[in-house]
Amino acid sequence: MEAFKTHTGLVLPFDRSNVDTDAILPKQYLKMLEKTGFGDFLFDDERYLDPGDVEIPVSGRRPDPAFILNQAPYNRGSILLARANFGCGSSREHAVWALKDFGIRVVLASSFGDIFFNNCFNNGVLPVILDESTIDELFELASGMGGLELTVDLEQCHIHTPRTTLRFVVEPGRRENLLSGLDEIGRTLTHSESIRAYEAKRRGLEPWVFD
Amino acid sequence: MAALTLYDKLWQRHLVDELSDGSALLYIDRHLLHEVTTPQAFSGLRAAGRKPWRIPANLAVPDHAVPTRKRELGIAGIADKVARKQVEMLSLNCEEFGIPLIELEDARQGIVHVVGPEQGYTLPGMTLVCGDSHTSTHGAFATLAMGIGTSEVEHVLATQTLRTQKQKNMRVVFEGLPGFGVTPKDLILALIGRIGTAGGTGYAVEYSGDAIRNLSMEGRMTICNMSIEAGARAGLIAYDRVTEQFVEGRPHAPVGERLEQARGYWRTLVSDTDAEFHREEYFQVDSLVPQVTWGTSPEMVTGIDGKAPVLSELAPEQRESARRALDYMGLSPGQSLKGVAIDKVFIGSCTNARMEDLRSVANLVKGHKVHRSVQQALIVPGSGQVRLQAEREGLDVIFQDAGFEWRSAGCSMCLGMNDDRLNSGERCASTSNRNFEGRQGKGGRTHLMSPLMAAAAALAGELTDVREI
């Protein structure tokens, strides 16, 4: 997995709460077999005026100029700013793959859907929980001409805005994983003996589980 | 010893290691797979040269993108060639890695969350995961069941464990006797309406109270299924006689001495009487009214005697999302929900496509006709076994005589990955679990409700109160 240490980028303000993963990546793209190539379909239903599907080239489709992903400078945004319960609903990791493929490395929100939150960490995307008043302030800053540039520093757990430095909290395990970018499966397999010992014990207690 | 909740007990029983970074390694007993969230996980295994840790812990079945017609043709009958390739890929991956697979043509095929319990693959006291958020369904068996992402699917395949954090405990108590027309779907929608779609985030939710104890396993699965719509990855219901009777005799359930031994353990799968919960909610269900959603989030719900909200009466922070939802749904603020004309009806999904659901629909529609203004009324059974049983009971004839289309099993119009979907602007009375914008098709408008209420809407051609039919 790609490591995440620090990231500087432009904020893409997405002023809405309860953004679900169906909206982030609509169902027709779940038929794809890879983890890449989803960026063109991020927020597809709202981003284009005409319907899309896997085999319809986006070059032939009409982007909706009123939608923020189609507006400069936000179309270069790499830090998505949203409100409460971002990424609720379906477990589809494709939603994170789409954000990442579009170029998003950080999502700032006041809360997240649980499964989406996990999925971010497993793909080198940093989801940061900030209180609602801080989110309000960031929206205000981001609405100015030319947009808002932030630096998100995971080593220090700081976000540098033009005005101030904000602190955020990430669970230590998740932070370490992102900073190292190490393969989680490889790390878990270092516990293979514990897993086998556990299985042997459980098999004695509940043999039907292993039948 | 401190009193434990059911969740605490399941957690402790499956804990392999507490890791230095504050997370835990949780052992996973069962892993269900389907075609949509697994191809990248198998590719990952292949790239790293890894093998599944414990092959019999896995069971795969295609369900999400499969057509609900012409199933006698098998995979060749999937007209969408991209979807066909994905279902073929599931077969190839299962063959390569040795994973047990129920194929499309198999009479046991169906929605993964219907198939697991039906086959006795889901058993009490287990941990069960699947790359699908409605995995919470299996919590009805006093099993810790959670939806996971594809990276975690790969992790579970390779290690039989999940790296995860312990959740907080929430208890939701439903007391009383629901009146006619009030079903498990109405209970869970009412809960989501009260606590919101993020109300359960970070919690494992245990449902209890006499209104839960009085439910069949099918009703309990409907409740646990929509835990994720309240934000909770896992829902749970204590083990009791109802669980015991459901499990007994299922193909993968233990028998004989093993069953006796299992029951001894399963009977401990209840929260201790003095266990403490971080949050509790109480519902008196006697006066509950059949529920119907008016908006584009499951929390935008009210009784069928209710109205779409008047914006000025909402909290200021709710107004913009309500305005947007009403606009999308083509409803006016303050409009009565009763009488809103519908175009399509969908009775199906992992929430509501089991025998009890279909029997309740058949009872209501027998001898009646789907209203002529309804363009399409689909009934999609949750599994091939449900379909067969319904046909044995003659329900398919009742449905078709009434003007419903009787289909083969799959997720179908719940998420519209196959060709069962809404066109832009179409309004649907649906027994599924999500009314998000575009969920059932771009521009489609979904009203979530119980099977009884959807059947009543089909007959009336509009949203209506099943209690008045």
pLDDT tens for chain A, 211 residues long, are 789 999 999 999 999 999 999 999 999 999 999 999 999 999 999 999 999 999 999 999 999 999 999 999 999 999 999 999 999 999 999 999 999 999 999 999 999 999 999 999 999 999 999 999 999 999 999 988 889 999 999 999 999 999 899 999 999 989 998 999 988 999 999 999 999 999 999 999 999 999 8
* B285 and B310 both lie in a single domain: no
Same domain (yes/no): B298, B284 = no
B254 part of contact set with chain A, CB < 8 Å:
yes
Residues B32 and B67 placed together within one structural domain of the fold: yes
Q: A189–B159: do the CB atoms touch at under 8 Å? A: yes
Indicate whether B147 and B178 sit together in one domain: yes
Q: Are B387 and B348 in contact (CB under 8 A)?
A: no
Contact yes or no for B231 and A96 at CB 8 A: no
Q: How confident is the model at residue B161 (pLDDT cuts 50, 70, 90)?
A: very high
3-state secondary structure chain B: CCCCCHHHHHHHHHEEEECCCCCEEEECCEEEECCCCCHHHHHHHHHHCCCCCCHHHEEECCCCCCCCCCHHHHHHHCCCHHHHHHHHHHHHHHHHHCCCECCCCCCCCECHHHHHHHCCCCCCCCEEEECCHHHHHHHHHCCEEEECCHHHHHHHHHHCEEEECCCEEEEEEEECCCCCCCCHHHHHHHHHHHHCCCCCCCEEEEEECHHHHCCCHHHHHHHHHHHHHHCCCEEECCCCHHHHHHHCCCCCCCCHHHHHHHHHHHCCCCCCCCCCCCEEEEEECCCCCCEEECCCCCCCEEECCCECCCHHHCCHHHHHHHHHHHHHHCCCCCCECCCCECCEEEECCCCCCCHHHHHHHHHHHCCCCCCCCCCEEEECCCEHHHHHHHHHCCHHHHHHHHCCEECCCCCHHHCCCCCCCCCCCCEEEECCCCCCCCCCCCCCEEEECCHHHHHHHHHHCECCCHHHC
With cut-offs at 50, 70 and 90, classify the pLDDT of residue B372: very high
pLDDT of res. A183: 86
Instruction: Please indicate, yes or no, whether residues B313 and B354 belong to a single structural domain of this protein.
Output: yes
Using a CB–CB cutoff of 8 Å, tell me whether B100 touches chain A. Answer: no
Least confident of A179-183, B108-112, B133-137, B370-374: A179-183
Nearest CB to B16; choose among A191, A208, A210 = A191
B279 and B295 part of one domain: no
- The interface predicted TM-score (ipTM) is 0.97
Residues of A in contact with B435 (CB under 8 A): none
Residue range(s) defining the domain that contains residue B370? 291-468
Distance of residue A145 Cα from the nearest chain B Cα, in angstroms: 24
How confident is the model over B219-258, as pLDDT tens digits? 999 999 999 999 999 999 999 999 999 999 999 999 999 9
Same domain as B384, residue B450: yes
What's the rounded mean pLDDT across residues B334-353?
Answer: 98
pLDDT value of position B22: 80
Domain ranges of chain A: 6-180, 183-211
CATH 3.40.50.2300 fits A6-180, yes or no: no
Residue B111 has pLDDT above 70, yes or no: yes
Q: In CATH, what number is assigned to the domain containing residue B240?
A: 3.30.499.10
Are B98 and B1 within one domain? yes
For B:104-123, CB contacts with A below 8 A are 123
The pLDDT tens digits for B256-281 are 999 999 999 999 999 999 999 999 99
Mean pLDDT of the B138-153 span: 98
Same domain, B427 and B285: no
Determine which of B54, B59, B228 to mutate to test the interface with A (most A C-beta atoms within 10 Å).
B228
Last residue of a domain, one of B289, B314, B338: B289
Residue B409, min C-alpha distance to chain A (Å): 19
B83 at the A interface (CB within 8 A)? Answer: yes
Choose the mutation target among A2, A188, A192, A199 for the interface with B, i.e. most B CBs under 10 Å.
Answer: A188
B1 has pLDDT over 70: no
pLDDT at B451: 98
B176 Ramachandran zone, left/alpha/beta (phi>0; psi -120 to 50) = left
**Of B265, B289, B313, which marks where a domain is finished?**
B289
Total domain count, chain B: 2
* B388 interface with A at CB cutoff 8 Å: no
Residues B185 and B279 in one domain: yes
